[in-house]
Structure 1
Amino acid sequence: MSQPTAQPAASTAASSGATAAETTAHGSAGPGATTAAADVARAGGPSDGTAAAAVADGATAANLPAADVPAADVPAADVPAARAGALGSAAARTLTRRELVAWRNALFVIFALCGVALASWVARVPAIRDAVGASTWQMGLVVFGLSGGSMVGLVLSSHVLARFGPISTIRATMILSAGGLVVAGAGGSIGSIPVVIAGLAVFGLGTSTCDVAMNVDGAANERALGRTVMPIYHAMFSVGTIIGAGTGALAEHLGVPIVVHLSVVAAVMTVAVLIAVRFLQPDPALSAAQEEKEATGRGDWRRRLTVWRDRRTLLIGLIVLGMAFAEGSANDWLALAMVDGHGVDNATGALVFGIFVTAMTIGRVFGVFLLDRFGRVPVLRVSALLAGVGLTTMIFAPNPGLAAAGVVAWGLGSALGFPVGMSAAADDPATAAARVSAVATIGYLAFLVGPPLVGFVGEHVGLLNALLIVLGLVAVAGIVSPAAREPERQPRRLGGATGA
C-alpha cells in the first residue's frame, strides 16, 4: 500500500524556488545570498535557474529584492505552496546540532513531567478515597471525571494544535493540568467529591491534549534528527511515573497533606515546562503545510476530521489499540492474575509487575536501535510475536517461574507499539496533529475500556483466561503492522548535523 511522504505536497510545486535557496546554501555567496534565495522562493521566482545563478554570483538581499523577481513562471495558485516549501527548507537549515539536541532533551523533560503528574495522583488515590469517604461506586465517578476529561481533550487536540501549534499548546495544557491537580488535591483535603471530579476533569483535559501535542512535536524532532527517538520519549514517561510513584509514597509515609503534595508537584510542573518550552523548535514542514492550507482556504476543522475515514490512520490505530491493551492490562491485572492464577503472594505479584515495567522500559530504550536498523514493520511484527509468546506462556505456564519469564517477553513485546504508532501517524507533517489525535483516541480506548472488560470476563472465566482477549488484539496489531511503514527517508542537512 502506498504511504504518504513526510514532506508536504507543497514541496513539489515549490521545487524551483527551493532549488534556488539550496544552491545558495551550498555555495559561497554568504548569508546575504541566502536571504536573497529565500526572497526568490517567496516570490515564486523563475524556474530556469537565472535567479539562483545571480545569487551564486554574490547578489544580496539589498540588490535583489523579492519585488524585482518575476513571478510569471509560477501560476498564482502555486505561489503559497512555493512560499511554504521554501520557507520550510530555509527554516530547517537554521537548526544546529546543539539546537536539535536541546529540543530533544526538552521533550524528554516534558514527557517525564506528564508521568510524574499522573503517578502523583495515582499514589494518593487511597488517601483521597479515605478523605472524602467515597464508596467504590463513588470512586468510579471520580475516575470517570479523569477519563471524561481525557477523551474531550483528545477530540479537541487536533483543532487546538491547528490554531496554536505544538509549543504553545504544550505550555498552556501542562499549566492547565497542574491547575487541575491542585483543584483535585484541594477537593480531597476538604472532603468534596464534586471538587475532586472537577479537578480531575481539568487535569485529564490538559494532560490528554498535551499528550497529543508532545507526540506531534516529538515526531517533528525525529524527522529533524533523522533517527528514531519516540520510544525513548515514552521511556521517559515511564521514568516519570517511577519518580511520581516514589515521591507519592514518601509523601504518604510522612503524612504530607494531599493538597500540599499535589500543589508542590503542580508548581514543579509549571516551572519546568516554562523552562523546557524555550528549547523547543517549530516544525518547519508543519509550519509550511499550515501556511499553504490557510492560503488556499483548506485548513478548516472539517478537513481535519476526514482523517477518520483514512484507511491507514485506522490501521495504525489498531496497532496502537492492540499494544496499548497489552500494556494497560498488565498495569491493572498482572499482579492480581499472578496471585489468583499462579498462587503467589501479594509481594511476589507486585514484584512480577515490576519486572514487566522494567522490561517494557528497557525495550523502549534499546528498541530505537532495532527500529533504525530494520525499520518499523519487521520490528512491530517481532514485537507482536514476542508479546504473544510471552502472554501465552504467562497464561498457561505450569509454575510461577516460567510465568515470570513469559512476563519479561510480554513487557519487551509491548514496548514499541504505542510510540511507533505515534511516529507513523505523524509521518505527514501536513496532517500530523489530526492523525496523532485520531490514533491516540483509538489507543486510549484500550486504557479506558480494557480494564473493565478484562475484569468482567475474568469474573466468569478467571483472569488468566480473560487475558486471551489481549492475546487476540496483539495478534491483530501484528497482522496490520505494514500500515506503519515509514516513508522513504530523504538526506538531511540541518546545520551540518545528521544526528544527535
Structure 2
Amino acid sequence: MPGARAAITAVFFAFALPIGLWAGAIPALLRQSGSDGRQLGIALTLHTAAYIGAMAAGGQLARRIAPRRLVLAALGLVALAFPLLYAAGSPLMLTLALIGTGASGGLLDLAMNTEGTALERRLGRPILLSMHAAASLAFALGAFGGSLVATQAGPLWLVLPVWAVFAPVAWWLARLAPAPEPAPLTVAARPRRVERGRGVGLIGLLLGLCIGAEIAAQMWSASFLERQARELAAFAGAGAAFFAGCQALTRLVGDRLRHAFGDRRVITGSLLIGVAGYALVAGVPGFAAGVLGFALVGFGTACVVPCCFALLARDPERASAALGSASLVAGLIRLPTPLYLGFVAAAWGEEVAFAGIAAGLAAGALLAQRGLRALD
C-alpha cells in the first residue's frame, strides 16, 4: 500500500509538470505561434471542452477498465500531446495542440483521481490532498522553469523534462501489484445526498468556479505580470509558480484541515481566501502585488477540488460516475472561462476580468456554506 500511494502521488506530479511548463512559457509560445489574447481564449475554450468531454467519458470507461490501466494509457497520450503544443508555430497548430492536451489531460485527471480516492478509502484516512500537493509542486517548478527555458532556449526544449519524468513514473506504475476490489457499501451506509443529482450538481458548480479561478491564475498570470514589468519578462512565470507553490504548501496540511474542520468549512474558507487574492490582483497595480495576489489564490484554491472529489467518491461503486457527472456540470463554468478572460481582458483589461473571477468565488463560498451542510 505505501508503494501504491507513492506511485499514484508520482502520477499527480507528472500530470502537472507539463501544464506548469506550458503556463510559464505562454508569452513565448504566443510569440512563436503568432497568437494574441483572443485567439488564446478561443483555443483554451476548445481545450477545456476536450478536457471536460474526456473526463465525462473517462467516468464511464473507469467502470469497465481498471483505473490504473486507464492512468497508464492517459500518461502515454499526455507525453505525446505536449511536445506538439511546445512546437506550435501557428494559431491553428496551437489550437489543435491544446485540444489534444485537453483530451489526454482530462482522461488522466479523471483516472488518477479515481485511483487516488479509492486508495484513500482503502487506507481509511485522508491522503488525497497530499497527492494534489505533489501536483501543485510540479506545476510551480514547471511554471518558473518554463518561462526561463522558453525565453532563453525556446519552448521546444520543454519536451525534455516532460519525458524524463513520465518514463520512470509509467514504469513504476506498471510494476505495481493489482489494486484490490473495493468492498460494496451497505444500503444504510450509502451517501444519499451525493448520489442525488442536486448534490452532484452543487459540487460540480463549486468545482467549476474553483477550476475557473485556477485557469485564470495558471494561464493569464504570466502575460499579466509581463505587462506589469517588461524588464522582468524572464520571471513572468513567478505568478503561476507562487500560485502553485502556495497550493502545494497548503495541500501538505490540507488533510489535517479536512479532519479538523470538515470538507464544507474548508471549502468555504478556502474560497474566501481566493476572493481576497483576486481582489488584490485586480485592485492593486504592480508586479509584486500581482505575485502576492496569485499566491493568495493558490492558498485559497488548494483544498477545494480535492475536497469536492472526496465528497463525490464516498460511494466506491459510483465514484467514477459521480466524478464524470460533476465534471459535466463544472464544464458549464470551465468552458467559457478562457473565452471570458480573453475577451474581457482585451476589451476592458485583465483587472476587470480578475474582478469577475473574485465575484464568482464569493458566490461559490455562499453556496458552499448553505448547500453542503448536510454533507459534513
Per the normalisation by structure 2, the TM-score is: 0.79
Write the distance in 1 (CA, Å) between the matches of 2:182 and 2:265: 28
* Matching of residue 316 in structure 1 with residue 203 in structure 2: yes
The amino acid that maps onto 2:176 is F
Q: Which residue of 2 aligns with 1:366?
A: 253
> Would the alpha carbon gap of residues 472 and 405 (structure 1) be closer, same or farther in structure 2, given more than 3 Å must change?
same
> Would the alpha carbon gap of residues 119 and 400 (structure 1) be closer, same or farther in structure 2, given more than 3 Å must change?
closer
Which of 155, 161, 179 is the equivalent residue of 2:56? 155
Residues 421, 484 of structure 1: 8 Å contact kept: no
**CA positional deviation for 1:445:** 5.3
Write the distance in 1 (CA, Å) between the matches of 2:297 and 2:121: 29
The amino acid that maps onto 1:167 is R
**CA positional deviation for 1:385:** 2.6
Q: Which residue of 2 aligns with 1:273?
A: 170
Larger RCO, structure (CA 8 Å, separation 6 or more): 2
* Matching of residue 328 in structure 1 with residue 229 in structure 2: no
Residues 384, 414 of structure 1: 8 Å contact kept: yes
* Matching of residue 465 in structure 1 with residue 352 in structure 2: yes
Which of 269, 284, 300 is the equivalent residue of 1:413? 300
**CA positional deviation for 1:244:** 3.6
The amino acid that maps onto 2:52 is M
Residues 145-169 of structure 1: per-residue CA shift (max 9 Å, x gap): 6445323312311121111021111
Aligned pairs, number: 365
**CA positional deviation for 1:213:** 0.9
Residues 106, 277 of structure 1: 8 Å contact kept: no
For residue 58 of structure 2, give the secondary structure of its aligned residue in structure 1.
helix
> Would the alpha carbon gap of residues 203 and 327 (structure 1) be closer, same or farther in structure 2, given more than 3 Å must change?
closer
Write the distance in 2 (CA, Å) between the matches of 1:209 and 1:430: 19
Unpaired runs of 5+ residues, structure 2, are 187-193
* Matching of residue 217 in structure 1 with residue 115 in structure 2: yes
Q: Which residue of 2 aligns with 1:453?
A: 340
Q: Which residue of 2 aligns with 1:168?
A: 69
Residues 142, 196 of structure 1: 8 Å contact kept: yes
* Matching of residue 436 in structure 1 with residue 323 in structure 2: yes
Q: Give runs of aligned pairs for residues 387-402 of structure 1, distance below 5 A.
A: 387-396=274-283
Residues 45, 337 of structure 2: 8 Å contact kept: no
Residues 208, 330 of structure 2: 8 Å contact kept: yes
> Would the alpha carbon gap of residues 401 and 183 (structure 1) be closer, same or farther in structure 2, given more than 3 Å must change?
closer
Write the distance in 2 (CA, Å) between the matches of 1:434 and 1:351: 37
Give the aligned CA root-mean-square deviation in angstroms.
3.9
**CA positional deviation for 1:257:** 8.5
**CA positional deviation for 1:365:** 1.6
Per the normalisation by structure 1, the TM-score is: 0.61
* Matching of residue 382 in structure 1 with residue 269 in structure 2: yes
* Matching of residue 208 in structure 1 with residue 106 in structure 2: yes
Write the distance in 1 (CA, Å) between the matches of 2:256 and 2:271: 18
Which range moves more in the overlay, 151-160 or 445-454?
Answer: 445-454
Residues 20-69 of structure 1: per-residue CA shift (max 9 Å, x gap): xxxxxxxxxxxxxxxxxxxxxxxxxxxxxxxxxxxxxxxxxxxxxxxxxx
Write the distance in 1 (CA, Å) between the matches of 2:91 and 2:212: 29
**CA positional deviation for 1:205:** 2.0
> Would the alpha carbon gap of residues 460 and 263 (structure 1) be closer, same or farther in structure 2, given more than 3 Å must change?
closer
Q: Give runs of aligned pairs for residues 164-203 of structure 1, distance below 5 A.
A: 164-182=65-83, 188=88, 200-203=98-101
Which of 126, 131, 149 is the equivalent residue of 1:228? 126
> Would the alpha carbon gap of residues 484 and 428 (structure 1) be closer, same or farther in structure 2, given more than 3 Å must change?
farther
**CA positional deviation for 1:449:** 2.2
Write the distance in 2 (CA, Å) between the matches of 1:220 and 1:336: 38
Write the distance in 1 (CA, Å) between the matches of 2:317 and 2:215: 31
**CA positional deviation for 1:360:** 2.4
* Matching of residue 114 in structure 1 with residue 15 in structure 2: yes
Q: Which residue of 2 aligns with 1:63?
A: none
**CA positional deviation for 1:329:** 2.1
**CA positional deviation for 1:394:** 4.5
For residue 470 of structure 1, give the secondary structure of its aligned residue in structure 2.
helix
